[in-house]
Structure 1
Amino acid sequence: MEFRKLIIFAKQPILGHVKTRLAKSIGDTSALEVYTELLALTSMITTKVNAKKFVYWDQLPEIPNSFFGKEYAHKTQSDGDLGEKMASAFREELTEKNYKTLIIGTDCPFVTNGILEKAYLELEKSDFVLGPAKDGGYYLLGMSEFHPSVFTGIPWSTEAVLSLTINRIKELNLSYSLLEELNDVDTVEDWKEWKQMI
């Protein structure tokens, strides 16, 4: 496994609980269909990644869904805002030293296996790696040592997330690498862009 870990943040595909911003335009049922497709895509992309893989769900159901196979470990996200949830996951996975650890969500179908491989390579020379999203956030974050301050005081789901995170890294006098900018699927237009691409 080359001392690599991959954390995937996901939500259970429950009607009315996923892609709520998208649902305002296309309705809960269609939004759920989009999300289940995003889950399947994330599974397909990450299956080939040479790493220990962990899916952190918002909740674990009594009957597990079939989106991620037996090579994935399943855990539950902690309480708190997105930053607290991510910090908790990194804290847990980086108790084993020297693991290059990445976190992604399920909202970016444009991520490829090649991008994830590049992210791991960047961690050989940088303290952090970030995948910028077009909305000002990031679709990927990676580190080999746990630095909780990159998760505190960040206004999540705003266009300032990436820039503030980079500022935090600079305050720590640490290095970072940026991957190519990609688009998250949050709106109807984002989903159409993805569909046109494939």
Structure 2
Amino acid sequence: MKRPRPALIVFCREPIEHQVKTRLIGSMTPSAAAALADAFIRDALAKADSVHPARIVIAASAPDGADRSKYFRRLARRFGAELIDQRDGSLGQRMARSLDPFSSNGALLIGTDTPSLPSEMLATSLDALRRTGVVIAPSLDGGYYAVGVRGAMPPIFTGIRWGTRRVFDSTIARLDRADIPYTMGPAWYDVDRWADVMLLASHLRMLARSRPRAGLSPCPATESVLVRLGVLRHDR
């Protein structure tokens, strides 16, 4: 019997100036960086909705807690999502805590820093959880943008040096040592630094030339912000 589609968890932080996308500040203003972070979240949730998971969950980090955040409560209503709080701890602890309540039936956790990721690639990783206990999708900076678990939590969320270029390799090594089968999702690029923003803008410009009509952007909210900031100009 075919297993049901897993839950999809969007793991994100409230887009407050000086607290998000700080590596972009200097190349853009704090308010512009926060606007871009907000667009990334909205695009991630819209993409999550488009692949029809069993449920959408927002795993949020907010100064006064997710439940008190007007920003996240509004998004949860808009997308019909459940809202949970990441709470304190390392990145690995917060990811494991977000996955754990949903892992028995399968849950895929995604970040929001891959706005141009095609929906089809997200669906590929989500569907892979029907066949295997762990799915991990690498990002080109050496980390990963998605991790999925079905069943017992694997030993991949502790003892990892987060924020380094070895995160993905270290995680795979942990899975291999524990003899845990896994499926690798499609690789994609993160947008963390100014050079990444330039890559994203070039990519969106290329896609705009090739798509048959308007409205087919992989990240319309992000594209709109980049146009407003003057970072993205489509050819006429």
TM-score for both structures, normalised by structure 1: 0.90
More strand by share: 1
The correspondence of residues 13-162 of structure 1 with structure 2, limited to 5 A, is 13-51=15-53, 52-59=55-62, 60=66, 61-65=68-72, 66-68=74-76, 69-94=78-103, 97=104, 99-162=105-168
Letter matched to residue 54 of structure 1: V
Q: How far apart in 1 are the matches of 2:185 and 2:203?
A: 20
What's the counterpart of residue 222 of structure 2?
Answer: none
In terms of Rg, which structure is larger? 2
Q: Secondary structure at the match of 1:45?
A: helix
**Counterpart contact for 1:90–1:146, Cα < 8 Å:** no
Letter matched to residue 166 of structure 1: I
Letter matched to residue 192 of structure 1: M
Task: List alignment gaps of at least 5 residues for structure 1.
Answer: none
Query: Is structure 2 residue 187 aligned with structure 1 residue 181?
Result: yes
In the TM superposition, structure 1's runs of 4+ consecutive aligned residues that sit over 3 Å from their partners are: 64-68
Change (3 A) 1:47 1:3: closer
Q: Deviations over 1:39-64 (max 9, x none)?
A: 22112211212221100110224423
Change (3 A) 1:62 1:89: closer
TM-score for both structures, normalised by structure 2: 0.77
Q: Secondary structure at the match of 1:185?
A: coil
Q: Secondary structure at the match of 2:113?
A: coil
Q: How far apart in 2 are the matches of 1:38 and 1:164?
A: 27
**Counterpart contact for 1:78–1:84, Cα < 8 Å:** no
Q: How far apart in 1 are the matches of 2:69 and 2:149?
A: 33
Note the C-alpha offset of 1:110: 2.4
**Counterpart contact for 2:6–2:129, Cα < 8 Å:** no
Change (3 A) 1:43 1:70: closer
**Counterpart contact for 1:6–1:54, Cα < 8 Å:** yes
Note the C-alpha offset of 1:20: 1.0
Q: How far apart in 1 are the matches of 2:52 and 2:46?
A: 13
Letter matched to residue 36 of structure 2: V
Q: Secondary structure at the match of 1:159?
A: coil
Q: How far apart in 1 are the matches of 2:69 and 2:135?
A: 35
Q: Secondary structure at the match of 1:131?
A: strand
Letter matched to residue 190 of structure 1: D
Note the C-alpha offset of 1:67: 3.8
Q: How far apart in 2 are the matches of 1:33 and 1:64?
A: 13
